[in-house]
Structure 1
Amino acid sequence: MSMGGGITGGGAAGPGSTPGNAAHGHPPMQSQSPLAGRPAPHLRPVGGPEGGGLGGGGLGGGLGETMRGPSGLRHDPLNSPLGGGFGGGLGAQRGQPSADTELPRFTMTVNGGLRGPGAVGAPAMLKGLTPELNGLLREAFTPTRPKQQLNSLFIGRTDTLKRIISAIEEERAHVILFGDRGRGKTSVANAIEKIAGQAGYLSLKLTCSAELSFEDIFRHFLKKIPSTYYRSGIDNPFASRRSFTSFNELLPEGGFSVTELNEVLAGIHATHVLLILDEYDRVTDEDFRNKLAELFKNLTDSSIPVTLLVVGVAENLDQLLGKHPSIQRSLVPVHLPLMTDVEIGRLINAGAENAGIAFAPEAVDRICEFVRGLPYYAQLLGLHAARSAVSRGSTVVERDDLAYAVTRCLQEAERGIVDSYARALAAERRAELEDVLLACALCPADAYGTFDPKELAGPGGAPPTKEALGILERLCREEYGGVLAPVVEPGWTRYRFRNQMMRQYVLMRQAHERGQI
């Protein structure tokens, strides 16, 4: 496939989204900002006249080397004739404080629970990258661990929190929170745990693993429910009272059935128990999944004051829970979307404020365009860029700091992503494959990362060639990395990156190798 013309991202006039395919009833695509690459006559430029470019430079040296442009000299992104590859002029719109910054709350308390958001102060800026400041930056930017506090660092998930709270409080339904890695599901679960606790719920959370059985997990939960919540003698004042410490003691020795567990939970009164099972995708035992499905149904049918919030990596309910049609009416599925550019900007600027530093608007723009709505990479780029700025004695993060952060992110990428990327491009036509893979990463996508191959069309809106579509099909095959996954619908096939973090890796890797950050 011969390539000419430029691969560009959509010229983003603002943080909103571009219209989706209304004829097919699909959600609107996320707005994309310009990023140009090698010539590609068969790929329609996705975007406006800003263009920009990842162009020039060819395939640079190793990832640990200094960023270099096509001349071999150190590339100065601020004064480069290559232009602002990832720029989009969104600095004036991203990262601005929202008038609605208050987190949603449960409106009714359970048993007189207390309310009130936490707060974290921001110590004054220290000079140099001291251990204290390094710790402060890690608190402000937390890519490797979920958010624990309800404060200004918890950004962009208000609608999701409202939906979960509504399902628990108003619909009395169990909730399944799912989505790709890196979207912040555990942070949302932590927020729900704390918000529910403020409303008086007895909120308990456990991280699943393949080693833990159904009995292990629910014994763990019942040990945390004190006997003070037992309905002893309420219905029959002449019944003898049992002396015990926790609800676990009400279960029989050894194994127990779902029915026996349900009967024990039926003894709960004077509170509402919220049980959160995080990383449920780690559970591979089919018996476990069947028992959980039975428990969902039993709890709903018995109107017991116990709600389950199950959190896991998946693209649909069947992947996480298996096929159990009978429990669908008991569940509210919540598919966690990617964040918008505005939310990513607010996340970066909130972290900077808490650390006592600032990000140049252009650096925020570039981070938004690299991360494409994934908060994990926003935190990681923010952390490394902030460290770079502080280590050179500055309180403002600039584009040069971002270049360092990109290099660090590439060095720290998951081995599975690096291997898949290498297999995807292992062919004589590497340059063509790189162009198509980059075009896929730049393609406008919906809130869940799915894109339409029609957006890769050539000049004048012509549909993509058979050769280009063939490359997309090749990228779906395991022997070529399995980078993409087809989303098949009647008469229509769209695509998504199998691992959403691959999209960000492609953007950063190609920007690095082509000498344009």
Structure 2
Amino acid sequence: MRNFFRKRRAAGADEDFTSSGPMAGGSGGSGGGITGQPLTGQPFAGPAERPPVAMGGPPRLRTVPGTADALRPGTAPASRDPAGDEVELPRFTMPVNAGLRGPRGTAPALLTGMTPEMNGRLREAFTPTRPKQALNGLFIGRTAALKRIISAVEEERAHVILFGDRGRGKTSVANAIEQIATQAGYLALKLTCSAELSFEDSFRHLLRRIPSTYYRSGMDNPFAARRTFTSFNELLPEGTFSVTELNEVLAGIYGTHALLILDEYDRITDEDFRNKLAEMLKNLTDSSIAVTLLIVGVAENLDQLLGKHPSIQRSLVPVHLPLMTDKEIERLISAGAENAGIAFAPDVVRRIGDFVRGLPYYAQLLGLHAARSAVSRGSTTVERSDLGYAISRCLQEAERGIVDSYNRMLAGARRAELEDVLHAAALCPADEYGVFDPSELTAADGQPAFSDLDDLLTRLTAVDHGAVLAPVPEPGRFRYRFRNQMMRQYVLMRLAHERGTI
């Protein structure tokens, strides 16, 4: 046994211990990930460079040039470019305990001029990546849509489908309806759909949140004998179940009215799910079950969401969420600024409205980046220079599909003409859903539209050239809209950035 430990200690003297730890490069370590390379990217030390290890004590870490600063808290790790020069790697601008998960923290802020408190206030004031969760002063507009949904649910007992392009705030509206319904005594439950969830999984999840206290017992109820259960999910049979069985369970709801909200329904690609939901909607419409469905999804029309089931449109009240008005966009920016304790110069608010064209997502995104720029330079007023920074950030973070479509559209001949027509289309007056009349297109100098406009529009709608525009057929004419509504804002911001007209 003593010989065994002597051999182990002798073998340990030859092990390589780099700054990554004793198991950094070994295939047998449980950590894995880094395989034999120091943090600086320098070549792995050869046998002659291995340091001696003190017998019986902890291993001494080999000092690797350039890694001391990389491992010190508060500094960014270093790497080396092909020329051998040390390059500082990107890092998070705010540590977690400095406000990433809350408005207050104890660690110092790493972003120049940005305190943890202000960083938290800006995130709460402008929420481009998060829907509004609460009905407060930051929830702006959408009064008409809210009234129509409430009327359909309360007065007509009809199911509702809320749809529209991305970035219009559909989930924020759904969250608002959930809270308004709850305040009125409804049992409002929201589920975010996923392609991985089946019809059975989705409704089991919803029924699991309906407590047995809402169960109606009595001889007219097929589940009257089931008295010991905690949620309605337990009334469903094991495994798969039919729509009829689901409706029988829902028929047991008593003492409330259930509002089931299916958000992001456009993610559902399973035809079986859609078939069963269509059957469920028909059955619920024909019965007096106290359940109403609110379906929310990204689509330009009902057919994109309902697919092969146009017959169920008679069971639904469609609510097409429009773009916001200029006044609503102005109020949105002003409310966010007031909440954060800053101000936007009037011309900046106007320019934001010019760029976003009624899309609240981009209004929130430009507001957030511009406000951060102003605070980081020590000001509480957002100026044009801050808007320029915000637009640069938006262009850097633009959706890859939008950038690819734009570049494909301009590839080949007539690039300048196509760019001018696309710019004119982005500037053209449009209705509340982003549809415009090509007869109203004007060149940048305000002159009438281009002589060969039809040919240029044909190319802008061609799939081979990115299909940036989509024709909207109407009796006796064609109108157009951007196929991806966010392309309109991208075009305006990109050309303003390139032409220096921000």
TM-score bucket of the superposed structures, by smaller chain: 0.7 to 0.9
Distance 2:397 2:223 in 1: 65
Instruction: Please give the residue correspondences for 1:149-298 in structure 2 after superposition, counting only pairs within 5 Å.
Output: 149-233=134-218, 235=220, 240-298=225-283
Q: Which residue identity does 2:335 align to in structure 1? A: A
Partner of 2:23: none
Distance 2:226 2:324 in 1: 52
The reply on whether 1:141 has 2:126 as its aligned counterpart is yes
Alignment match of 2:377 (pick from 384, 392, 411):
392
Alignment match of 1:496 (pick from 481, 484, 493):
481
Partner of 1:323: 308
Q: Which residue identity does 2:143 align to in structure 1? A: T
- TM-score w.r.t. length of structure 1: 0.73
Partner of 2:299: 314
SS at match of 1:451: coil
Alpha-carbon distance change, 201 to 370 in structure 1, aligned in 2, over 3 angstroms: same
**Shift in Å, 1:404:** 0.7
Q: Alignment identity in percent? A: 80
Distance 1:236 1:313 in 2: 38
Alpha-carbon distance change, 325 to 478 in structure 1, aligned in 2, over 3 angstroms: closer
Partner of 1:433: 418
Distance 1:188 1:458 in 2: 37
**Shift in Å, 1:284:** 0.7
Alignment match of 2:386 (pick from 375, 379, 401):
401
**Shift in Å, 1:463:** 7.5
Partner of 2:21: none
Instruction: Please give the residue correspondences for 1:120-131 in structure 2 after superposition, counting only pairs within 5 Å.
Output: 128-131=113-116
SS at match of 1:243: coil
Q: Which residue identity does 1:376 align to in structure 2? A: Y
Distance 1:506 1:236 in 2: 59
Partner of 2:320: 335
| Contact 2:343 2:381 survives alignment (8 Å) | yes
Distance 1:293 1:158 in 2: 29
Between stretches 473-482 and 227-236, larger displacement belongs to: 227-236
Q: Which residue identity does 1:346 align to in structure 2? A: R
Partner of 2:365: 380
Distance 1:364 1:234 in 2: 64
Alignment match of 1:446 (pick from 411, 431, 435):
431
Structure 2: state its 5+ residue gaps: 1-102
SS at match of 2:269: coil
Distance 1:132 1:319 in 2: 43
SS at match of 1:256: coil
Alpha-carbon distance change, 149 to 309 in structure 1, aligned in 2, over 3 angstroms: same
The reply on whether 1:361 has 2:350 as its aligned counterpart is no
Distance 1:444 1:247 in 2: 51
**Shift in Å, 1:243:** 1.1
| Contact 2:223 2:235 survives alignment (8 Å) | no
Between stretches 364-373 and 471-480, larger displacement belongs to: 471-480
Moved over 3 A (4+): 234-241, 461-466
Q: Which residue identity does 1:208 align to in structure 2? A: C
- Aligned residue pair count: 394
Between stretches 226-235 and 462-471, larger displacement belongs to: 462-471
| Contact 1:233 1:241 survives alignment (8 Å) | no
Q: Which residue identity does 2:212 align to in structure 1? A: S
Distance 1:272 1:475 in 2: 49
Q: Which residue identity does 2:379 align to in structure 1? A: S
SS at match of 1:206: strand
Partner of 1:303: 288
Alpha-carbon distance change, 234 to 368 in structure 1, aligned in 2, over 3 angstroms: farther
**Shift in Å, 1:464:** 4.6
1:48-105 Cα shifts (integer Å, max 9, x gaps):
xxxxxxxxxxxxxxxxxxxxxxxxxxxxxxxxxxxxxxxxxxxxxxxxxxxxxxxxxx
Partner of 2:61: none
Alignment match of 1:472 (pick from 457, 461, 472):
457
**Shift in Å, 1:136:** 1.0
Distance 1:259 1:347 in 2: 45
1:391-443 Cα shifts (integer Å, max 9, x gaps):
11111111111111111110110111111110011123211111011001001
Q: Which residue identity does 2:360 align to in structure 1? A: P
Partner of 2:407: 422
Q: Which residue identity does 1:469 align to in structure 2? A: D
**Shift in Å, 1:215:** 0.5
Distance 2:390 2:240 in 1: 51
| Contact 2:192 2:264 survives alignment (8 Å) | yes
**Shift in Å, 1:296:** 0.7
| Contact 1:262 1:295 survives alignment (8 Å) | yes
CA RMSD of aligned residues (A): 2.2
Q: Which residue identity does 1:195 align to in structure 2? A: I
SS at match of 1:450: coil
Structure 1: state its 5+ residue gaps: 1-121
Partner of 2:87: none
SS at match of 1:296: helix
Alpha-carbon distance change, 315 to 236 in structure 1, aligned in 2, over 3 angstroms: closer
**Shift in Å, 1:328:** 2.3
Larger RCO: 1 or 2 (CA < 8 Å, sep 6+): 1
Partner of 2:491: 506
Q: Which residue identity does 1:257 align to in structure 2? A: S
Q: Which residue identity does 1:265 align to in structure 2? A: L
